């Protein structure tokens, strides 16, 4: 079996925070530490833990002591253990996406606003980064502008991360504009909120030339077992979702509801209004 890759989300955050405070780019610090910029990026984004020699060089490049870095790695908090599980789950999902026949389109159906935080930005960025043949479309179940406007904020944040990490790369921002899209339900075909079945969590539909696949957000059993003793822990468990595969017949129901123009393309233009991104300069009503 291949050697298990050690990861520490907390260490990745520590490295990123120290880099930002230093005012230097990933490339500058990677050169100082004699590692590649891509490797440095994996440390920050994926919590990849370097070997001890690399750790020493990275610490000195950041103006920190190796002891400080080792203290961060020694923090065996339950939070880090939970995040380790989630990082591995997400890494597995990424590898599955890469293995699918081309092209691959990921549809995310939401009825609430898209979170625009570091976790959400990194998640969408990482999915787009792993392969050029992947596209993401976020579909808002309702036409409420206050809800779907969150797509623009998310797309701009992903664009900013893309620009920071793809400088001097063939992967341009223009390509990114074509790979992440947002839509809201045409009001003529919109369900009434008080009569429609609630969507407790966003649904994720992956479509490739062979089949649609539906995932929904559930909770990892180890996380649930560790947290169900008290109501505070139970509520905390809602912050630790993982993707769980649903039966294929349910995936097809979602696809029928979306009404794709083709298996790899955009949703029905009659049912879904595309969110202009980047927005027109005159569109300042958000």
Residue ranges covered by each domain of the chain: 9-75, 79-274
Task: Tell me how far apart the terminal alpha carbons of the chain are, to the nearest angstrom.
Answer: 52
Say how far apart CA 155 and CA 74 lie, in whole Å: 35
Whether the domain at 9-75 and the domain at 79-274 fall into the same CATH topology: no
Residue 19 has pLDDT above 90, yes or no: yes
Element (H, E) at 134: strand 134-140
State which of 83-87, 111-115, 195-199 shows the largest mean pLDDT.
111-115
Fold of 9-75: 434 Repressor (Amino-terminal Domain) (1.10.260)
Give the per-residue pLDDT at 117. 84
Say how far apart CA 24 and CA 62 lie, in whole Å: 9
The pLDDT-based confidence of 60 (bands split at 50, 70, 90) is very high
Q: Give the predicted TM-score (pTM) of the model.
A: 0.63
Give the per-residue pLDDT at 138. 95
DSSP state at residue 188: G
Angle formed at CA 134 by CA 133 and CA 137, multiple of 5 degrees: 140
Residue 208 has pLDDT above 70, yes or no: yes
DSSP state at residue 61: H
Residues 6+ away with beta carbon under 8 Å from 123: 90
Query: For 259-274, how does the pLDDT look when each residue is reduced to its tens digit (9 = 90+)?
Result: 987 655 789 999 999 9
Say how far apart CA 213 and CA 105 lie, in whole Å: 11
Residue 220 has pLDDT above 50, yes or no: no
Say how far apart CA 274 and CA 2 lie, in whole Å: 44
Q: Which of 223, 201, 221 is nearest to 80 (CA)?
A: 223
79-274 has which CATH code?
3.30.870
What would the two tokens of residue 114 be? Answer: 């898209």
What would the two tokens of residue 202 be? Answer: 């966003």
Residue 240 has pLDDT above 80, yes or no: no
Average pLDDT over residues 79-101: 77
């Amino acid at each position: 079996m291949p050697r298990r890759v050690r990861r520490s989300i907390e260490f990745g955050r520590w490295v990123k925070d120290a880099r930002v405070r230093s005012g230097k780019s990933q490339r500058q610090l990677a050169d100082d530490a004699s590692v590649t910029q891509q490797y440095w990026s994996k440390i920050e984004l994926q919590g990849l833990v370097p070997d001890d020699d690399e750790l020493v060089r990275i610490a000195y490049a950041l103006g920190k002591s190796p002891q400080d870095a080792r203290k961060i790695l020694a923090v065996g908090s339950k939070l880090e253990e939970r995040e380790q599980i989630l990082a591995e789950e997400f890494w597995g999902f990424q590898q599955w996406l890469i293995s699918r026949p081309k092209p691959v389109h990921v549809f995310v159906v939401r009825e609430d606003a898209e979170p625009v935080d570091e976790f959400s930005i990194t998640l969408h960025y990482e999915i787009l980064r792993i392969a050029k043949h992947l596209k993401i479309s976020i579909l808002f179940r309702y036409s409420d502008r206050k809800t779907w406007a969150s797509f623009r904020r998310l797309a701009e944040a992903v664009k900013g991360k893309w620009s920071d990490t793809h400088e001097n790369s063939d992967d341009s921002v223009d390509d990114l504009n074509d790979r992440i899209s947002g839509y809201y339900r045409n009001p003529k075909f919109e369900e009434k909120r008080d009569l429609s079945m609630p969507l407790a969590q966003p649904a994720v539909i992956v479509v490739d030339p062979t089949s649609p696949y539906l995932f929904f957000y559930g909770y990892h059993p180890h996380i649930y077992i560790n947290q169900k003793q008290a109501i505070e822990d139970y509520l905390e468990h809602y912050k630790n979702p993982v993707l769980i595969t649903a039966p294929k017949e349910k995936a097809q129901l979602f696809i029928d509801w979306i009404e794709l123009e083709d298996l790899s393309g955009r949703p029905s233009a009659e049912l879904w209004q595309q969110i202009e991104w980047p927005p027109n300069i005159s569109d300042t009503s958000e």
